[in-house]
Structure 1
Amino acid sequence: MATAISLAERGVQVDLIDLDPEWRVYGAGITITGPTLRAYRRLGLLEPIKEAGAITNLTRLFRYDGAHLKDLDEPIIEEGLPATGGIMRPVLHRIMQKRVRELEIPVRLGLTVSALENEAQGVAVTFSDATTGRYDLVVGSDSIFSGVRDLAFPHMGPPEPTGQGCWRISIRKPPGLDAGEFFLGHDNPCGITPCSPDSVYMWMLTEHVEREEFMGEEELFVTLKALLKDFGGNAGWIRDNMTREDWINYRPLAAKLQPRSWYNGRIVLLGDAVHATTPHLASGAGMAVESGIVLAEELAAADTVEAGLQAFEDRRYERCRDVIESSIGIGNLQLNHRPPEEHAALLEGALSRLNEPF
C-alpha cells in the first residue's frame, strides 16, 4: 500500500492486488519507531496514526525482574515528529486502506499472480483467476514467502530460520504504563508497546523448537503464562491478568537479505520479499514503507525505468543490510545468554543509524 500510495501521488496509474479476499491483517500491535513515523509522515499519514495509536518519546529498559536499568536515548529526528509509538496492526491497515481509496487506486482482492513474462518495455501478467494484463512495471511486495520472488528471481532463496520464535499478546494496558518497555537479562527477553490509550501488545522472544503441530489456543495461553513466571513489573502484571480472551500468537522467526539484483527486467521486489528482518529493531514494516517511498522517488527522477530501479536498489541495499544484520545480531546475543548491557549497546547503535535520513 505504501508503494501504491507513493506512485499514485506522482500520477502513476496503479493496480493493487492482495491475496486476502477480505483485505485483513492479523491482530497484533506494531511498534512504530521514529524512522517509521518519519516515513509515514512522508505518506501524509502521521496525524491519523497519532490519533488512533499511542505516541511516546521514551522507552524504558528493565531487568526481567522489574528493576529499572536505564531509559533509551530516543532523540527527536525531525521537528514535530514523535520519537516512537505503537498502534494495532488492523487499525494501521485501515488508515492506509482509506488513503488508497482516496487516491482511487483500483484494488482486486483474493488474487495473486501465477505467471510473469518480461517483454519489451513491460511485463505480461497472468493472474490466479486466469485473467491477464500488461504493465510497465510489476512490484512484488508479497511477504517473506513471496510468490513473485519464486516466479522471477531464481538466484534468490527462501528465508532462513534464526533459531528464535516470537510470542505476541494483545491485552489491556497495565495501570500506570506510559512508555514502551523492554525486559532484559532473561533467556526469554520481552517488551511492551502501548498501542492506544487503553491497549498494549507484549512480545517475547524464545528459542524456537521445531514441532509437528501448531499450538492451540489453550496451549498458547498456558505456555506463555509459564514463560512469564520469572518476570516482574508490567510484564508480571500481564502474566497475572491475561485471560483466554486475549489474542495470543506464536511464530518462528526467519530473515534474509536477498542477493542482488532486486529487479529482473521490469519486475522488482521490496519489503519482506527481499529484505525480511526480525522484530528486534521494530523496523520490518518501516523498511517496507521506506522502500515504497524510495522506489517512487527514484522512478520519478530517472530517465528510464531501469535506471530508476537500479537507483532504488543502490539506495536501499546497505540500509536494509544494516537492519537485518543488527537484528540477527541482537537475537544471537539473546540465544547465547549475553548480558543485557550488550543488548542495549547494540540496540542503541542500530537505532541511531536508523535515525539517519533514508
Structure 2
Amino acid sequence: MSESVKKILIVGGGFTGMSAAILLQQQGVEVHLVELDKNWRTDGAGITVSGPSLRAIEQIGVLDQFKQFGAIFQNVDMFTSDGTHLRQIPTPAVPGSSIVGGGGIMRPVLAKILAEETKKAGVKVLLGHTYDSLQDMDDRVDVTFTNGESDSYDMVAAADGVFSKTRQLIFPDAPTPQYTGQVVWRAVVERHGLERPALFYGPNGKLGFTPVSATHMYLNYTEQQPKKVRLADDQLLPHLKGLIAEFTAPVIEKVKAELNQNSSILARPLEGMIMQRPWSKGRVLLMGDAVHATTPHLASGAGMGHEDAVVLADEVKTGGPVQDILKRFEDRRWTRCSLIVSNSKRLGEIEQTGGSKVEHMQIMALSMSALMAPI
C-alpha cells in the first residue's frame, strides 16, 4: 500500500469507479465510494467488449463472472445486406493476458458483477448521495456529503461521467461533450444461431449483432442524424424497423419478426470529448468519461475506463507523493485515450460523409494495434 494514499474517495459508481474501487481496496487502501443513484442501476442494452478491454477486466478480477453471464467469441463475420458471406475477420490473442478474441455482455449484468465485487472487496459504499463540497487542504481533501456527513481523504478520484459535476467544479472552462451527428440504436434479441459478431452492409448503413449471453445478442445500427432529436418511446420500435428494412438476410428477417416493445430498444445520440491535460488539480483526479468520453466505433468506451482503474491502482501501489502518482497516471493514459477518442470521432465522420474506405481501414488497423499494446 502507498504511504501517501491510504484512504481514497471514489465519486461515481459506474464501471470506472467500481473497477478502481475494487483494485485499490484489494491492495490495502481504504476506499469509500459515493453514488448518486440510490438503486445503483446501469441502464442500457448490450455492450461489445474488445479483446484489450477484456484484458483490463481480467486484471480487475471479474473475467470468470464475465464468461459465466456474458459471451466470449473469436472472429467477426461480414455479410451483404441479403446475407451473402463476404469474409471473416480474425481476432488475435491479446498480449499480456489469456484473451483471444472479444466479448459481449448486457450492461446491467456487468454492472451487477462489478457492484457485487465492490461490496465483496470491503469498499464502503454510500448510495443516493454525492458530495456538497471538496476542499483541498494541501495534505488532504476534506469532503462534505449531501447526507450531512464529512470525512477527509488522501485523494479523490472522480469518475462521475460524461457530464461530470467534479469537472465543472475544478475546471469550469473545460470542454463539454459535443454531439457528433450520429445516433446509435440498440435492441436485445435472440441469437438465432449466430456464433459470433456479425456485420451486415447495406446501401445506406451497417447493421451489427454481438452475442451477450448464451441465448441473446444485441442489435446495433448507427443512424446519420444531423440534428440531435429525441423520439417518444412509442416511436422507437417503428423507427428502428424502418432503419433496418433494407436488410433482408434470413437471420435479420427473424429479428424483424421478433422485435417488439419489450426488446430494450434504445437510441443514444453519440457525443464525445477529450479534455486537455491536466486531468487533476491538487489531490482531485478526473478519470473515465469525465475526461475522455468516446463514441463506440472502436468498442472501447467502457474499456478505457477499466484501463484507467488498472493504471491508477498500479501507480498508487508504486507510491510516491500524490502529485507524482497523478502525473504518472496522466502520462500513461493521455496518448492512448486521446488516440481512441480522436480516431473514433474520425471513423464517425467518414461514415457520415461517405469518405474513404481505405482511410477507414487504416484507422481501424492503427487503433487496434495501439489497443493491443500494454496499458
Q: TM-score, normalised by structure 1?
A: 0.94
Residue 302 (structure 2) pairs with residue 285 (structure 1): yes
Deviates more, 1:71-80 or 1:109-118: 71-80
The answer to whether the 8 Å contact 1:155/1:259 transfers is no
TM alignment of 1:48-197, pairs within 5 A:
48-78=65-95, 80-174=98-192, 176-184=193-201, 186-197=203-214
For 1:98 and 1:326, how far apart are their aligned partners in 2?
34
The answer to whether the 8 Å contact 2:181/2:228 transfers is no
For 1:138 and 1:131, how far apart are their aligned partners in 2?
16
Q: 208, 230, 233: which is aligned to 2:246?
A: 230
Question: What whole-Å deviation, never above 9, does each CA across 1:254-273 have from its counterpart, x for those lacking one?
Answer: 10110110000000011000
Deviates more, 1:178-187 or 1:143-152: 178-187
* Unpaired runs of at least 5, structure 1: none
Shift of 1:65: 3.8
Q: 216, 219, 225: which is aligned to 2:235?
A: 219
Q: Secondary structure of 2:160's match?
A: coil
Question: What whole-Å deviation, never above 9, does each CA across 1:254-301 have from its counterpart, x for those lacking one?
Answer: 101101100000000110000100011110110000001101111221
Question: What whole-Å deviation, never above 9, does each CA across 1:325-355 have from its counterpart, x for those lacking one?
Answer: 1111110111012365654443233122211
The amino acid across from 1:124 in the alignment is D
* Unpaired runs of at least 5, structure 2: 1-17
User: For residue 279 of structure 2, what is the aligned residue in structure 1?
Assistant: 262
Shift of 1:211: 5.9
Deviates more, 1:66-75 or 1:143-152: 66-75
For 1:145 and 1:228, how far apart are their aligned partners in 2?
31
Q: Secondary structure of 2:39's match?
A: coil
User: For residue 4 of structure 2, what is the aligned residue in structure 1?
Assistant: none
For 2:55 and 2:136, how far apart are their aligned partners in 1?
35
The answer to whether the 8 Å contact 2:209/2:218 transfers is yes
The amino acid across from 1:71 in the alignment is Q
Residue 329 (structure 2) pairs with residue 312 (structure 1): yes
Question: What whole-Å deviation, never above 9, does each CA across 1:220-251 have from its counterpart, x for those lacking one?
Answer: 00000000011133344322321222110111
The amino acid across from 1:75 in the alignment is P
For 1:133 and 1:17, how far apart are their aligned partners in 2?
12
For 1:9 and 1:187, how far apart are their aligned partners in 2?
49
Shift of 1:125: 1.6
Q: 37, 46, 57: which is aligned to 2:54?
A: 37
User: For residue 353 of structure 2, what is the aligned residue in structure 1?
Assistant: 336
The amino acid across from 1:115 in the alignment is S
For 2:83 and 2:226, how far apart are their aligned partners in 1?
27
Shift of 1:203: 1.1
The sequence identity of aligned pairs, in percent, is 36
The amino acid across from 1:168 in the alignment is R
The amino acid across from 1:153 in the alignment is F
For 1:57 and 1:348, how far apart are their aligned partners in 2?
17
The amino acid across from 1:97 in the alignment is A
The answer to whether the 8 Å contact 2:350/2:360 transfers is yes
CA separation of 1:103 and 1:211: change in aligned 2, threshold 3 A: closer
Shift of 1:143: 0.8
For 2:369 and 2:253, how far apart are their aligned partners in 1?
30
The amino acid across from 1:49 in the alignment is F
The amino acid across from 1:328 in the alignment is K
RMSD: 1.7
The amino acid across from 1:38 in the alignment is R
Question: What whole-Å deviation, never above 9, does each CA across 1:71-96 have from its counterpart, x for those lacking one?
Answer: 22310114632310101111111111
The amino acid across from 1:226 in the alignment is G
CA separation of 1:186 and 1:332: change in aligned 2, threshold 3 A: farther
List structure 1 runs of 4+ shifted beyond 6 angstroms. none
Q: Secondary structure of 1:308's match?
A: helix
User: For residue 266 of structure 2, what is the aligned residue in structure 1?
Assistant: 249
Question: What whole-Å deviation, never above 9, does each CA across 1:4-35 have from its counterpart, x for those lacking one?
Answer: 01111111001011111101111311111111
